Amino acid sequence: RGRMYGYAGADIVFIESPETEAEMVEIGRSIAKPLLANNVEGGRTPILTAARLKEIGYSIAIYPGAGFLAVAAALERVYSHLHAVGDTNGLPAQESYGFGRMCELMGFPEVWEFDKKWARKD
């Protein structure tokens, strides 16, 4: 089916869940289109290095679960601490992005400057 999509003019071909590197190599060998690797930690498809993916014919790799899986682990650690201790005091610094840093990431300083500049002075 992937070859047929390539012949039909697909810009990119994605084959769902190859389960071995050998299968991925065969896909790369048999489809002459850019291939997409869907890398899910704990999924069925082996997660290969970027260099190896390129070597076997994959030009795009996505990691759709990486962020939310990391967030889930962080939430579990923080809420476990909160449950055990009763507050967030003593939470290791690396376990929190920090409120100030989060405000900066969200662009709040620019919003606050805008508000100061344009606020009514009555």
Structural contact between residues 20 and 46, judged by C-beta atoms closer than 8 angstroms: yes
Give the separation between CA 57 and CA 22, rounded to whole angstroms: 12
State phi, psi for 38 to the nearest 5 degrees: -100, 105
Task: Tell me the CB-side half-sphere exposure of residue 53, using CA atoms within 13 A.
Answer: 17
pLDDT per residue as tens, the chain (122 positions): 999 999 999 999 999 999 999 999 999 999 999 999 999 999 999 999 999 999 999 999 999 999 999 999 999 999 999 999 999 999 998 888 889 999 999 999 999 999 999 998 87
- For the whole model, what pTM was predicted? 0.76
Structural contact between residues 45 and 39, judged by C-beta atoms closer than 8 angstroms: yes
